Amino acid sequence: MGDDTRYGFSEAALRGLDDLDRRMPPPGVAVEPAASRSMAFTPGVAPEGRPHYWGHRERLRQRFLAGGHASMPEYELLELMLFNAVPRIDVKPLAKSLLATFGDLNGVIAAPEPRLMAVPGATDKVYFQLRLLEAAAHRMARARVMQKCVLSSWDALMTYCKTVMAYRDTERFRILFLDRKNVLIADEEQAKGTIDHVPVYPREVAKRALELNASALILVHNHPSGDPTPSRADIDMTAQIELACGAIGVTLHDHVIIGKETDASFKTLGLL
């Protein structure tokens, strides 16, 4: 009566097999015997050869789904972002290292490839994952301002510009083209420069405004130093663009310089 003759094993043996199945690691995860040198004395590894992060990843996911991101520190959000790019290892040290290197989550997501890849543990998949997240953030911010009157949605416009430009390590120059109702009809990056200079040609700006049948413009560029104070070159270049646009009946509403924390408006400063 104690044997299960269907399989030729005793009931005790079958219970042992069931217990073994419960102890097996997830498919595709390589582990060493618990008695081996690398597993037996490694801090942070759970009993039975199970890495501590197996349960940590799932707990982190459930915390995010249950409570959202507001109560989570930045390194935990970054961990969640890295899970798909870095399987089967603890990504907390990498997340903290990236934040220490680039300052905050915005800086990590916008980090240029050479600097990112110099951080130990960063890989091509990590770089791809961060670029994907950056693209999604840009699209979401841009959707809030396109085809809307930007003068009545100024805060949303500045949020978009900061999302796209504040953490770049070189100067970028964008032009926002508006129609007669000041609705944003096009947003284009016109030039990329160095850490403290970007070449802009007033004739090309005016030409592009005519091509798009724009009635007004807003100029936007960033200062990688973080200080949005206009330089003498910024002021002179803006005056030349205002002159070129005025000749074809296009209004220059403002020129905004984006810094890390604040921005500077030429109109507010009395420079336009």
Return the minimum-mean-pLDDT range out of 56-60, 100-104, 170-174. Answer: 56-60
Sign of CA dihedral 83, 85, 90, 95: negative
Distance CA 234, CA 225 (A): 15
| pLDDT at site 195 | 61
Q: Residues 236, 243: contact at Cβ < 8 Å?
A: no
| pLDDT at site 8 | 56
CATH 3.40.140.10 domain extents, the chain: 146-265
pTM above 0.95, yes or no: no
Q: Express each pLDDT in 220-243 by its tens digit.
A: 999 988 889 999 999 999 999 999
| pLDDT at site 224 | 87
Q: What is the mean pLDDT of residues 72-83?
A: 88
Distance CA 59, CA 78 (A): 15
In which element (H, E) is residue 184 found?
strand 184-192
State both tokens at 43. Answer: 């801090």
Return the residue matching tokens 């310089």: 257
Does position 22 have pLDDT exceeding 80, yes or no?
no
Phi, psi of 217 (to 5 degrees): -135, 155
Q: What is the mean pLDDT of residues 104-132?
A: 89
Does position 58 have pLDDT exceeding 60, yes or no?
yes
Q: Express each pLDDT in 145-200 by its tens digit.
A: 777 788 888 888 888 888 888 888 888 889 999 999 999 998 888 866 666 566 78
Superfamily for domain range 146-265? Cytidine Deaminase, domain 2 (3.40.140.10)
Does position 82 have pLDDT exceeding 50, yes or no?
yes
Number of H helices, E strands in the chain: 11, 7
Closest CA to 220 of 270, 154, 148, 152: 154
User: Percent of the chain having pLDDT more than 70?
Assistant: 77
The total of other beta-carbon atoms located within 10 Å of residue 175's CB is: 23
